[in-house]
Amino acid sequence: MNVLSERITPEALVQGLGGRETATGLLYAPELAVFLGKQKYLIGMVPLLTSLFDCPDTWSSSTIMHGSLSLANVALSFLGASTLEWFIEALPSEAFSGGFMARLLFVVQEDTDREFAIPEPGKGHEWEKLREQLAEMKGIKGEVILAPEARAWYTHWYSKHHRTPTFDPKFAGYHERKPDHLLRVAFLLRIAEARSLTILSHDLERALGILDWMEALLPSVFETVATTPVGAMHQRILQHLKQAGGRMTHSQLLRKNQHAMNARQFREAIETLKDSETIEEIRTATEHAYEIIRRKK
């Protein structure tokens, strides 16, 4: 497998994909802020990836490199990880415009109930089985098609989705790209389950369920991306409260944010969150605290 990891320039990325019958590879960025940072040598990476993610039949590098290198049958996968705070602060501004974000699927988790003091290593036969399965999938070639019932299901869903308006402009790009994401996820489920290139309606239904589950936490991502500096302070305070289980004392919360805002800004942010009924202030003879207001579903 052609794996391209972090700290790679746009030129090196193109060269790593070049010289092949099919320009395929996996971009792996365990620290997304490093891979797509604001450093000078990374200028052009976001527009390049935006173009390559569309899987063009042919692509030329003449616009970003001295000389010219052509890529054929481009198919690029991307796996990146980051905290939300690093994601917003470290990425260049063009990452949040021009369609780049809409081409990605965000898996967001704000907390977890898992707790492993000393993680157990994977069992040898499980790793071997996974390698064998990946090798099987790698050897499958051909045209991906929709079974007749899957085509009917997708046509009906697409028409309904197309007629559903998106009132929040931050989600417009993702809403437009959701049909593409649906087909890709359905194909991955089909090939993983049956090593088949024929997508069934069952695969589409499962893929839609996965996408709908992922979308439940997307608002927090897109709202943070589009936030103002003042809004960022609000998000920061809320994030600390969530990490503490929804409640913190005044002194604890102030200490967590003293390097990001002064006392006046902290008070103003607290008052705004209180007025919007996002948090409540608790004052007793023994305690001064803030708590996130839990709304009934």
User: What's the pTM value of the predicted model, to 2 decimals?
Assistant: 0.73
Work out the mean pLDDT of the chain and round it to a whole number: 85
Per residue in 41-52, pLDDT (tens digit) is 667 888 889 899
Handedness of CA 49, 14, 134, 192 (dihedral sign): positive
Q: Are 82 and 33 in contact (CB under 8 A)?
A: yes
**CATH of the structural domain 229-292, one choice from 1.10.10.10, 3.40.47.10, 3.20.20.80, 3.40.718.10:** 1.10.10.10
Average pLDDT of span 200-205: 97
Domain ranges of the chain: 3-104, 140-219, 229-292
Q: How many residues does the chain have?
A: 297
Per residue in 125-151, pLDDT (tens digit) is 888 888 899 889 988 989 999 999 999
Q: Alpha helices of 119-249 — where are they, by DSSP H?
A: 124-138, 148-163, 172-194, 201-215, 218-225, 229-243
| Selection from 105, 236, 265 nearest residue 178 by Cα | 105
Q: Is the pLDDT of residue 297 over 50?
A: no
pLDDT on residue 186: 98
Q: Is the pLDDT of residue 20 over 60?
A: yes
